[in-house]
A = this chain, B = another copy of it.
Amino acid sequence: LITMHPQLEELIDVCLNHDISHIILAGGLPGAPAIKRAKDGGAKVVCFAPTLALAKRLTRQGADALVIEGAEAGGHIGPVATSILAQEILPHIEDVPVFIAGGIGRGDAVLAYLEMGASGCQLGTLFVCATESIAHENFKKAFIRASARDAVPSVQLDPQFPVIPVRALQNDATREFQQTQRGVIDAFDRGEVDQTEAQLKIENYWAGALRRAVVDGDVETGSLMAGQSVGMVKEEKPVAEIISGLIREAVDALTAREQASG
């Protein structure tokens, strides 16, 4: 569930009415009441923790597991890299399982995070081009063509008009977003729009853009949300093959290590 959704409580109740066993609260920091409501209803709650202090608070508030998602991830991101969050948080959270997300494209990287104390890893970008994925052919092609440096966060031009950064492949839409922001800020400076209206114009720019790209295949004006691991996506293949590839890379790393130690 998206934590900042205005009807979060009702959405939690819908899940509980359907006996959903695990509720993931993402997209904003959940308050204690939301966590309590889900747990009182019998569900396990998984929360995203952007800092160590908040990881500790969420655990105290009853979170049953945490996800640490670094800035390498696709879509809405925080400012801090996965490697940093892993080092800052994993050594200090022992009561609940912690999952690592953002920038993971190989099995030896999964292994490395597990050995640093993670209970698991969450991968998104690597599965966009799965044969089973319903993403439009154009969307998949854009992923297969792209390299890591094509997946860049959106840029906020003015601290007066906050933009939550979204990592996506650069296209006409991301370039035009810069111009739109600048135009709106200039209009605000000239007194033609007020702050609320200006902020709304900036926020509305991306409305429907993900659907336009993923479902309709409009890869130029849609939003191609992608993590930096997109460069490791090289072809369309079944989920089973993607997963067995990850396992093989992890096992190869373990085997190489055993051979090295004699």
Q: Is A103 an interface residue (CB 8 A)?
A: yes
Q: Does residue A3 face the partner (Cβ distance < 8 Å to B)?
A: no
Please state if A83 and B80 are interface contacts (CB–CB under 8 Å).
no
A109 within 8 A of partner (CB)? yes
What number of A residues sit within 8 Å (CB to CB) of B? 44
Q: Report B-chain residues with C-beta under 8 Å of the C-beta of A116.
A: 108-109, 112, 253
Instruction: Kindly list chain B residues whose C-beta atoms are within 8 Å of the C-beta of A228.
Output: 80-81, 84
Contact of A84 with B72 at beta-carbon distance under 8 Å, contacts A51-B147, A147-B51, A157-B157 already known:
yes
| A152 adjacent to chain B (CB < 8 Å) | yes
Count this chain's copies in the assembly: 2
Q: Enumerate chain B residues within 8 angstroms of A257, measured Cβ to Cβ.
A: 115
Kindly state the separation between the CA atoms of A228 and B149 in the bound complex, as whole angstroms: 19
Point out the residues of chain B lying under 8 angstroms from A149, CB to CB: 51, 78-80
Q: Which of A70, A82, A84, A178 has the most CB of B within 10 A?
A: A84
- A149: shortest Cβ distance to chain B, in Å? 5
